[in-house]
Amino acid sequence: MKIFDFKENDGIPVILVCGPKCVGKSTFNRYLINLLLNHLPCVEYLECDLGQTEFTPPGCVSLMNISDPFLGPPFTHQRTPRKMVYYGDVSCDQDTERYIDTVKYVFNSYKKEVPLVINTMGWVKGVGLLLLIDIIRLLSPSHIVQISAEDFKDMPQFTPEYIHLTAGLHTKGKLQATCKSMDMGGTENWQPCEGERDFQTSTPGHKLLCVKPKFPGAGDAAKARVHSSILRDMAMLGYLGQLQPLETRSVLPLHSLVPYQVPFSAVALRVIHTDVAPKHIIYSVNASWVGLCRIPDEVRCQTDGPVLLTQTPVCDCLGFGIVRGVEMEKQLYHILTPVPPENLRVVNCLLLGNIAIPSCVLLNQQGIEGEIPYVTSEYNYQISGAGKLKPSGVAHRSKLALEFVEGSGAEQSPKDSRSVQTKDLHLSSAARTL
């Protein structure tokens, strides 16, 4: 490719694409990968943008092996990554350390056998800029493509010298990157500071390509043709589309699909984004979007209730599902998911994050008379955070709407209850101990 002038002695290229929001990073990545596929059998893609993921639902860091060209927006090509971690939010501003650990965990699966294209977040101001410097040090790219609007002044050029000298959020620059220590003989030793050993304290001369987009509205999120939240919802709907039978001519509502039964004792549960009292945990997980994950520890059930994790693990995510209902008497989760049964057998952890089911899924349920389950119009928009729900048409799970219907495990109208069936997921011992 002439644009990068790759040479054989340069090794396998690792290309990091960065820049503020709405400057065309995703479009550039698609063009670049498709161009590389004209010359190579496959390309690896590392997704580090939690809010605008390309191949997965939002809130994930993933590593994808791409062998076929792809066009169109993300909801048209939802795929299963080679490695994926569910971070559980569209922003990492509340826990940047876990974000760094997540990126590191996924990046370690890259074998450096084919070129790697890295997509980064559009958060490049203040703390976001410092975090991006940390990411560059961690991933040590051979090429950086810096896309920036003409009048954007908050992002300096990421030259090798700038990355080498400038302190990040969790790393230090060249002049600060060593800790001084004295040995017993009185001679001085210089060693990396504790906690920075996994980072490159200097990038070995990456090549920088600066791009100034000329299309109207470049860098102005207010002029975007489609709001980012709509794209996220469409990506989730694209993923849920895999639940639909291939032979059907019309879209089946989710309440008519057959869920899996998962015992409380087979999976651990963790709410990522906030603290929830144990007695309220079932209210939180019911009718929620969850990551189906695998942790290395054995899931041990010491009580009659759900198994709860005290810390958020950085672990493999095999896919996603909706907790269709909870059956308290039999202690079962009812989960809808397109993940194949052979992969579900190793799932032993459910992660609930700050990613909500698209409101249209709840509002547009066909065949239901009367009040729609998990939807209420009696909601106080003065409550902090409620403004996010207002444009979607007062869709919100009512705190009074949670009823555990015997035999179904979810609140339903009489018409809805007659279609309830379940698939038993008999988890093997491998699903409980890894």
User: What percent of the chain is helix, strand and coil (3-state, nearest 5)?
Assistant: 25, 20, 55
Amino acid symbol at 191: Q
Q: What is the pLDDT of residues 307-359, one digit of tens each?
A: 999 999 999 999 999 999 999 999 999 999 999 999 999 999 999 999 999 98
Instruction: Determine the straight-line distance between the first and last CA of the chain, rounded to whole angstroms.
Output: 44
pLDDT at 29 over 50: yes
pLDDT at 183 over 80: no
What pLDDT score does 6 carry?
56
Q: How far apart are CA 332 and CA 348, in angstroms?
A: 14
- Tell me what the mean pLDDT of segment 217-226 comes to: 67
Higher pLDDT, 163 or 204: 163
Higher pLDDT, 423 or 252: 252
What pLDDT score does 404 carry?
31
β-pair type (178-182, 188-192)? antiparallel
Q: CA 96: distance to chain centroid?
A: 14
Closest CA to 139 of 97, 107, 173: 107
pLDDT at 272 over 50: yes
- Tell me what the mean pLDDT of segment 28-50 comes to: 96
Q: 202: buried, middle or exposed (CB in 10 Å: 19+, 13-18, 0-12)? A: middle
pLDDT at 166 over 80: yes
- Confidence grade of residue 366 (pLDDT, cut at 50, 70, 90): confident
3-state secondary structure of 278: helix
What pLDDT score does 365 carry?
76
pTM to 2 decimal places? 0.81
Closest CA to 143 of 233, 80, 51, 210: 210
Contacts for 138 with CB less than 8 Å, ≥ 6 apart: 100, 103, 104, 107, 198, 199, 200
Instruction: Concatenate the DSSP letters of all residues of 8-54 into one string.
Output: GGG-S-EEEEE-STTSSHHHHHHHHHHHHTTTSS-EEEEE--SSS-S
The single residue listed with the structure tokens 């089946």 is 252
What pLDDT score does 241 carry?
93
Q: How far apart are CA 195 and CA 303, in angstroms?
A: 37
The winner for highest mean pLDDT among 193-197, 209-213, 371-375 is 209-213
- Confidence grade of residue 217 (pLDDT, cut at 50, 70, 90): low
Q: What is the pLDDT of residues 118-157, one digit of tens each?
A: 999 999 999 999 999 999 999 999 999 999 887 777 789 9
Q: Are 117 and 45 in contact (CB under 8 A)?
A: yes
What pLDDT score does 5 carry?
56
Q: How far apart are CA 434 and CA 429, in angstroms?
A: 9
Q: How far apart are CA 106 and CA 97, in angstroms?
A: 14
* H/E element, 103: helix 96-107
What pLDDT score does 87 carry?
98
Contacts for 82 with CB less than 8 Å, ≥ 6 apart: 63, 64, 65, 109
Residue-range domains of the chain with CATH: 8-228 (3.40.50), 246-431 (2.40.30.330)
- Confidence grade of residue 198 (pLDDT, cut at 50, 70, 90): low
| Cα distances (Å, whole numbers) of residue 272 to 106, 241, 318, 327 | 18, 26, 17, 23
Of 56-70, 213-227, 361-375, the least confident: 213-227
What pLDDT score does 225 carry?
66
Higher pLDDT, 36 or 216: 36
- Confidence grade of residue 212 (pLDDT, cut at 50, 70, 90): confident
